[in-house]
Amino acid sequence: MTNRPATNQMRSRARSGLVFLLLALFAFAAPGAHAAVVGKALVVSGQVVAEQPDGGTRTLVADAVIERGDTIISAADSAAQLRFLDGALVTLRAATRFRIDDYYYADGSATNHSFFSLLTGGLRTLSGFIGKVQHEAYHLDTPVATVGIRGTDYQLRLCHGDCPPGNPDGLYLGVGYGAIAVVNRAGSFNLKSGQYGYMKDATSRLEFPSCPPEPLTGVACPDQRLSQAGLGSGYPTGDQDPISGDRPAGLGIGQGCGGSITGAFQTFALPVPACP
């Protein structure tokens, strides 16, 4: 004689197991269930890792993929250059944490977007398609301010006790060409081609330093040689954007002199005029 209650119980368990399996397979196949590839590392110097949202890490080497949600971390004396799907380039300084909060790009899509965060350290970036054409769909957050762009080559450096002596903590900004909007609790401020800025904290207004700040250029502000000589800005205007071919206007502020930003990615440096 068949034990009907036992048979029904077994069938119920089987159906429950099948439902669980189907749900698991659906979750596995659903869009967004896995991190999306958003670009790759072009060049890596030293030790650079991608920290995933689940806490796992991947060591980055040249041509390694980067994914949505990754936090790219460069160690001391290390650097990396990243290329995103829309052609944007990001060069990370040593001791930097850069997070890819959300990113999507497809040719012709109206929903493209790129949202990043600079948590520590510094970077320089050249806009890709999103920043040049769909710039309202781009922003980069920092602990001090949020940056929006208008087809731009710009750089940032967050200082927190780790910048050259004599340079206060805060956010340093520089624009090679194009323009950026910088927003925090003190308001919204604009920086144009050739301008540098500094913000002490999230409640401070944008200040315009009298010379290119050392945390960005690697060159200490000079003594009074330039102003005494009446040289004005004296800044070269021939730095061509390698993506668009645009050339920025000359800088309209007092300048430092001597040297340049050196290291693994010198081609992304703002040029610095020779000392008189």
Q: What pLDDT does 204 receive? A: 97
Tens of pLDDT, residues 192-206: 999 999 999 999 999
pTM (2 decimals)?
Answer: 0.72
| 36 CB-contact burial (10 Å; exposed 0-12 / middle 13-18 / buried 19+) | middle
Q: Which residues pair with 198 in a beta bridge?
A: 172, 207
Question: Cα(84)–Cα(127) distance, rounded to whole angstroms?
Answer: 10
Tens of pLDDT, residues 91-125: 999 999 999 999 999 998 999 999 999 999 999 99
Average pLDDT over every residue of 247-265: 32
Nearest to 86 by CA among 127, 117, 50: 127
User: CA torsion, points 46, 258, 271, 191, in degrees to nearest 10?
Assistant: 100
Tens of pLDDT, residues 135-191: 899 999 999 999 998 878 999 999 999 999 999 999 999 999 999 999 999 999 999
pLDDT at 263 over 60: no
Copy the structure tokens of residue 217.
């250029």
Q: What pLDDT does 197 receive? A: 96
* CA 79 from centroid of its chain's CA atoms: 13
Chain position carrying tokens 């799907």: 85
